[in-house]
Amino acid sequence: MKFDDFFKTIVETDLKWGNIPMLLGGPGIGKSSWVKWFAGEIGTKSFSLACNQLGDKADLTGARLLPVLDKNGNETGDWEQKFFPHQTINRAIRYALENKSETPILFLDEINRTTADITSALLSLATDRTIGNVELPDNLRIMIAGNDKGNVTMLDTASISRFVLYYMKPCLETFLKWNPNLNIFVKNTVVKNPELIYEDRPVMTQSEDGDDEEFDINMLDDADQMLQITTPRTIAYMSDFLNEIPQDVLISSLTLSDDGVSAIEELITGHVGKTNFAMLLTQEIVQNVMTVNTNQNAPTLVVTKPKCFDELKAVATVKDLEEKLMDLSVREQSMVLAYALQDTADHSNLLNVLSTVMTEIDIDAKKKIMTLSANDQIDEDNLRAFMVAKNSVTDTINVIAGNIV
């Protein structure tokens, strides 16, 4: 389900009939922002309770054991339990009582990212509409949200059946509507690649021995889950950062360090993760900044000739060349490509065959080719020779090279 006008109508209908919508999806996709926006659209307010910040059940209910007082204010020696609900719940109750013509929303966010004890109490609040001895006003509506995977408290079938579950996905149109001042580089990247608005896994890398190494967040221990991801939230943060950074600082960040990584790459990776979106955003910035700032010399990149390159050039037949290329790792194939695209000598025969053999490209080679393109260091004849095949690798290279072909 997307955060669009159709979904707005669905939720309005649910709340009208007293149903409790539960929005499920990954972090940062806009669940909380949408509920706040939705409340404004129906002419009321939302009150968001971050359930994952509750320390224990008492933080929610405010249960206290207090002495019983007589009519003169003196303690009788007896005790009674009283409840002082969380201030967010109290504010929602007061607003609902003061605005009976409205249907304000109490939004229980991250309901399953807390302890089982607190989650149980929250479920009771949502379904029984009471917290201790405090009842919720009839016009106060409830919505809840949670993550559908990761380190969460799983809900049983009986609990789930009390809600209407919606599995949410980011919506580009809504994201653009909510972020009218989106940085031009960010906007260009996300509009050209709307499928990359949410990426929760880093891109494929290659180890030195050529074996695939893909980071999978779901395979890591909780303590090791320190990988940034691309979401509407992190994209918006990235946009705000780029809107504020001075132009001269942005230009200087394009310079490559000794290990071949620029400061802008590290900045972008820190904001949105090591994802395809990050790579394409870096490319967008490099190409446009270097084009606009013609007086700024782009950092020169020299791709080292792979050890196998001369041997490949010496192969006499297409069949033998295919076999030798197929014996190479993805990393080796990718570095052969990067070197051949940079070199001004004619490598058309090698590149023709390479384009039919390659099925993926190493991330480091992508970065190098992106920098070569920004520096206008790609030999167009060699690039055209590689484009004879039509597949995902040639499509990627064409985009990285600025759609020259």
Are 240 and 346 found together in one domain? no
pLDDT at 336: 95
Task: Determine contact, residues 82/66, Cβ cutoff 8 Å.
Answer: yes
DSSP H or E segment with residue 167: strand 164-167
Are 212 and 123 found together in one domain? no
260 vs 364: which has the higher pLDDT = 364
> In the structure, what pLDDT confidence band is assigned to residue 368 with cuts at 50, 70 and 90?
confident
> In the structure, what pLDDT confidence band is assigned to residue 63 with cuts at 50, 70 and 90?
low
Whether the model pTM is above 0.85: no
What does the alpha-carbon distance between residue 197 and residue 26 come to, in Å, rounded to a whole number?
12
- Asked if pLDDT for residue 138 goes beyond 90, the answer is yes
What does the alpha-carbon distance between residue 193 and residue 374 come to, in Å, rounded to a whole number?
20
DSSP code per residue over 34-77: HHHHHHHHTTS-EEEEEGGG--SHHHHH--EEEEEE-TTS-EEE
pLDDT digits (tens, 9 = 90+) for 8-56: 999 999 999 999 999 999 888 999 999 999 999 999 999 999 888 877 7
DSSP H or E segment with residue 370: helix 363-374
> In the structure, what pLDDT confidence band is assigned to residue 261 with cuts at 50, 70 and 90?
low
**How many residues comprise the chain?**
405
Are 47 and 109 found together in one domain? yes
Task: Determine contact, residues 206/361, Cβ cutoff 8 Å.
Answer: no
What does the alpha-carbon distance between residue 110 and residue 119 come to, in Å, rounded to a whole number?
10
Residue 369 domain-assigned?
no
Residue 253 domain-assigned?
yes
81 vs 266: which has the higher pLDDT = 266
Q: Cα-flanking dihedrals φ and ψ of residue 315, to 5°?
A: -65, 135
Q: Cα-flanking dihedrals φ and ψ of residue 144, to 5°?
A: -135, 160
- Asked if pLDDT for residue 301 goes beyond 70, the answer is yes
Average pLDDT over residues 78-103: 86
Are 250 and 127 found together in one domain? no
Structural domain containing residue 265: 173-292
pLDDT at 256: 58
Residue 215 domain-assigned?
yes
> In the structure, what pLDDT confidence band is assigned to residue 217 with cuts at 50, 70 and 90?
very low
> In the structure, what pLDDT confidence band is assigned to residue 391 with cuts at 50, 70 and 90?
confident
Are 141 and 283 found together in one domain? no
pLDDT at 116: 81
Closest CA to 343 of 393, 315, 301, 314: 301
Are 206 and 137 found together in one domain? no
Tokens of 247: 């132009």
Count H helices and E strands in the chain, helices first.
Answer: 19, 11
Are 147 and 211 found together in one domain? no
SS3 of residue 323 by DSSP? helix
What does the alpha-carbon distance between residue 146 and residue 52 come to, in Å, rounded to a whole number?
10
Angle at Cα 120 formed by Cα 40 and Cα 80, nearest 5°? Answer: 100
Task: Determine contact, residues 200/234, Cβ cutoff 8 Å.
Answer: no
Domain count within the chain: 3
Residue 70 domain-assigned?
no
Final residue belonging to a domain, choices 117, 141, 169: 169
Percent of the chain with pLDDT over 90: 46
What does the alpha-carbon distance between residue 282 and residue 373 come to, in Å, rounded to a whole number?
12
Final residue belonging to a domain, choices 169, 199, 226: 169
What does the alpha-carbon distance between residue 404 and residue 344 come to, in Å, rounded to a whole number?
16
pLDDT digits (tens, 9 = 90+) for 231-241: 999 999 999 99
- Asked if pLDDT for residue 209 goes beyond 90, the answer is no
Average pLDDT over residues 299-316: 88
- Asked if pLDDT for residue 150 goes beyond 70, the answer is no
Strands 141-146 and 21-24: parallel
pLDDT at 258: 57
- Asked if pLDDT for residue 216 goes beyond 50, the answer is no
Environment class of residue 223 by beta-carbon count within 10 Å: exposed (0-12), middle (13-18) or buried (19+)? exposed
Task: Determine contact, residues 212/330, Cβ cutoff 8 Å.
Answer: yes
- Asked if pLDDT for residue 270 goes beyond 50, the answer is yes
What does the alpha-carbon distance between residue 143 and residue 46 come to, in Å, rounded to a whole number?
10
User: Between the CA of residue 17 and those of 139, 147, 165, what are the distances in Å?
Assistant: 11, 25, 15
Residue 78 domain-assigned?
no
Are 255 and 335 found together in one domain? no
- Asked if pLDDT for residue 86 goes beyond 70, the answer is yes
Residue 75 domain-assigned?
no
Are 179 and 159 found together in one domain? no
Average pLDDT, the chain: 83
Q: Return the bridge partners of 15, or none.
A: none
pLDDT at 401: 72
Are 384 and 276 found together in one domain? no
- Asked if pLDDT for residue 215 goes beyond 70, the answer is no
Are 212 and 141 found together in one domain? no
Least confident of 3-17, 94-108, 204-218: 204-218
Residue 304 domain-assigned?
no
- Asked if pLDDT for residue 205 goes beyond 60, the answer is no
pLDDT at 112: 82
Final residue belonging to a domain, choices 292, 325, 345: 292
Environment class of residue 269 by beta-carbon count within 10 Å: exposed (0-12), middle (13-18) or buried (19+)? middle
Q: Cα-flanking dihedrals φ and ψ of residue 7, to 5°?
A: -65, -35
* CB contact burial 39-70 (16+ within 10 A = b; e otherwise): beebebebbbbebbebeebeebbbeeeeeeee
Tokens of 32: 């909380």
Are 158 and 218 found together in one domain? no
Tokens of 286: 């490099």
Residue 301 domain-assigned?
no
CATH of the domain at 29: 3.40.50.300
What does the alpha-carbon distance between residue 255 and residue 352 come to, in Å, rounded to a whole number?
32
pLDDT at 233: 94
- Asked if pLDDT for residue 219 goes beyond 60, the answer is no
pLDDT digits (tens, 9 = 90+) for 173-203: 989 988 999 999 999 999 999 999 999 877 7
